[in-house]
Structure 1
Amino acid sequence: MKTCIACGMPMKTQNEFAMGDESKDYCVYCARPDGTMQSYEEKLESMTGFIIRTQGLVEDAAKSAAKGMLEKLPAWKK
């Protein structure tokens, strides 16, 4: 099992990988329609929205939580 380098999601089945390609290091949720990986800004926006929907946080708190999560992931390490 691989873990997405951009969001941390465990990728267990082929359809969870970007474009169904198990050689990719990122998941279907972190891929653009053409199969390339989203930018940090795109991922931050989508992760913020996900946190708002699933945890009910206000936008500023959700964005702060998303930044905290993303900074720990390999794709966004400086």
Structure 2
Amino acid sequence: MKQCIACGMPMKNPEDFAMGDSTKDYCRYCCRPDGSMQSYEEKLFSLTNFIIKTQGLEENVAATAAKSMMAKLPAWKAKASI
């Protein structure tokens, strides 16, 4: 089982992968409509909103949590050290 490099989601089934392509390293939630991976800023925005929606945190707290989570993922490690 692969894990999304951009959000950490487990990818077991073809529909979990971006565009249903199991050769991709990122999931359907981390891709743009054309199949390319979202940018750091796009993912930070969507993950922040996901945390607000699911955990009820305030935006600034959710953004801090999202940045912390993303810093541990392969797609964003270099971005976190900037």
State TM-score, norm by structure 1: 0.99
Query: Any gaps of 5 or more consecutive residues in structure 2?
Result: none
Query: Any gaps of 5 or more consecutive residues in structure 1?
Result: none
State TM-score, norm by structure 2: 0.94
Aligned residue-pair number: 78
User: Matches of 2:26 and 2:37 in 1, distance apart?
Assistant: 7
Q: Does 1:64 align with 2:57?
A: no
For 2:23, give the aligned amino acid.
S
Query: Residue by residue, what CA displacement relative to the aligned partner does 1:40-67 show, whole Å, maximum 9, x if unpaired?
Result: 0000000000000000000000000000
- Tell me the C-alpha RMSD between the 2 structures: 0.3
Q: Which residue of 2 aligns with 1:16?
A: 16
Q: Which runs of 4+ in 1 moved over 2 A?
A: none
Q: Which residue of 2 aligns with 1:4?
A: 4
